[in-house]
Amino acid sequence: MHHKSIRQHADSLRQGEYSSVELTRSFLQRIKQYDGQLNSFITVSEEQALASAKAADERLAAGDASLLTGIPFAHKDIFCTDGVRTSCGSRMLDNFIAPYNAAVVDRLAEAGIVNLGKTNMDEFAMGSSSETSFYGAVRNPWNTDCVPGGSSGGSAAAVAAGLAVAASGTDTGGSIRQPAALCGISGLKPTYGRVSRWGMIAFASSLDQGGPMARSAEDVAILLQAMAGFDARDSTSAQRDVDDYVSPLQDSLQGLKIGLPKEYFSAGLDAQLQASIMQAIDEYKRLGAEIVEISLPNTALAVPTYYVVAPAECSSNLARFDGVRYGHRCEDPADLEDLYKRSRAEGFGDEVKRRIMIGTYALSAGYYDAYYLKAQQIRHLISDDFRKAFEQVDVIMGPTTPTTTFGLGEKTNDPVTMYLSDVYTIAVNLAGLPAMSIPVAPVDGKPVGLQLIGNYFNEARLLNIAHGFQQVTDWHQQMPAQFN
Q: Which residues are catalytic?
A: 76, 151, 175
Minimum distance, C-beta of residue 382 to other proteins, in the bound complex (Å): 17
- Asked if 167 and 420 touch (Cβ cutoff 8 Å), the reply is no
Secondary element (H or E) of residue 22: helix 20-38
Minimum distance, C-beta of residue 324 to other proteins, in the bound complex (Å): 5
Cβ neighbour number for residue 247 with a 10 Å cutoff: 11
The nearer residue to other proteins, 197 or 476, going by C-beta atoms, is 197
How many residues comprise the chain? Answer: 484
x/- contact string, 319-348, with other proteins (CB under 8 A)? xxxx-xxx---------x---x--------
Strand 41-44 relative to strand 114-119, pairing: antiparallel
Minimum distance, C-beta of residue 120 to other proteins, in the bound complex (Å): 17
Closest CA to 220 of 165, 183, 174: 165
Q: Give CA angle at 186 (182, 187), nearest 5°.
A: 90
- The dihedral over CA atoms of 424, 426, 431, 437, expressed in degrees to the nearest 10, equals 60
* β partners of residue 188: 436
x/- contact string, 366-385, with other proteins (CB under 8 A)? --x---x-------------
The nearer residue to other proteins, 267 or 334, going by C-beta atoms, is 334
x/- contact string, 135-174, with other proteins (CB under 8 A)? ----------------------------------------
Q: How far apart are the first and last CA of the chain?
A: 10
Minimum distance, C-beta of residue 49 to other proteins, in the bound complex (Å): 22
- Asked if 121 and 145 touch (Cβ cutoff 8 Å), the reply is no
What is d(CA 98, CA 118) in angstroms, rounded to the nearest whole number?
13
Minimum distance, C-beta of residue 197 to other proteins, in the bound complex (Å): 6
The nearer residue to other proteins, 24 or 90, going by C-beta atoms, is 90
Minimum distance, C-beta of residue 364 to other proteins, in the bound complex (Å): 6
What is d(CA 101, CA 97) in angstroms, rounded to the nearest whole number?
10
Cβ neighbour number for residue 377 with a 10 Å cutoff: 10
Residues 182-211 that bind other proteins (CB under 8 A): 197-202, 204-206
The nearer residue to other proteins, 71 or 167, going by C-beta atoms, is 167
Query: Count residues contacting other proteins (CB under 8 A)?
Result: 44
Residues 263-302 that bind other proteins (CB under 8 A): none
Please list, residue by residue across 170-193, b when 16 or more beta carbons sit within 10 angstroms of its beta carbon and e when fewer do.
bbbbbbbbbbbbbbbbbbbbbbbb
x/- contact string, 210-249, with other proteins (CB under 8 A)? ----------------------xxxxx-------------
Minimum distance, C-beta of residue 307 to other proteins, in the bound complex (Å): 16
Ramachandran category for residue 364: left, alpha or beta (phi over 0 → left; psi -120 to 50 → alpha)? beta
The nearer residue to other proteins, 198 or 424, going by C-beta atoms, is 198
What is d(CA 454, CA 91) in angstroms, rounded to the nearest whole number?
37
Tell which one of 23, 38, 56, 102 touches other proteins (CB under 8 A). Answer: 102
Minimum distance, C-beta of residue 201 to other proteins, in the bound complex (Å): 4
Strand 446-453 relative to strand 395-399, pairing: antiparallel
Give how far Cα 330 sits from Cα of 89, 349, 351, Å. Answer: 18, 15, 20
Q: What is the DSSP code (8-state) at residue 192?
A: T
Tell which one of 18, 100, 230, 265 touches other proteins (CB under 8 A). Answer: 100
Minimum distance, C-beta of residue 125 to other proteins, in the bound complex (Å): 12
Q: Which residues contact 373 (CB under 8 A, 6 or more apart)?
A: none
Tell which one of 28, 38, 126, 312 touches other proteins (CB under 8 A). Answer: 312
Ramachandran category for residue 371: left, alpha or beta (phi over 0 → left; psi -120 to 50 → alpha)? alpha
The nearer residue to other proteins, 15 or 235, going by C-beta atoms, is 235
Strand 186-189 relative to strand 435-443, pairing: antiparallel
- The residues of the shown chain that bind other proteins, judged by CB under 8 A, are 79-80, 86, 88, 93, 96, 98-100, 102, 197-202, 204-206, 232-236, 312-313, 315-316, 318-322, 324-326, 336, 340, 360, 363-365, 368, 372
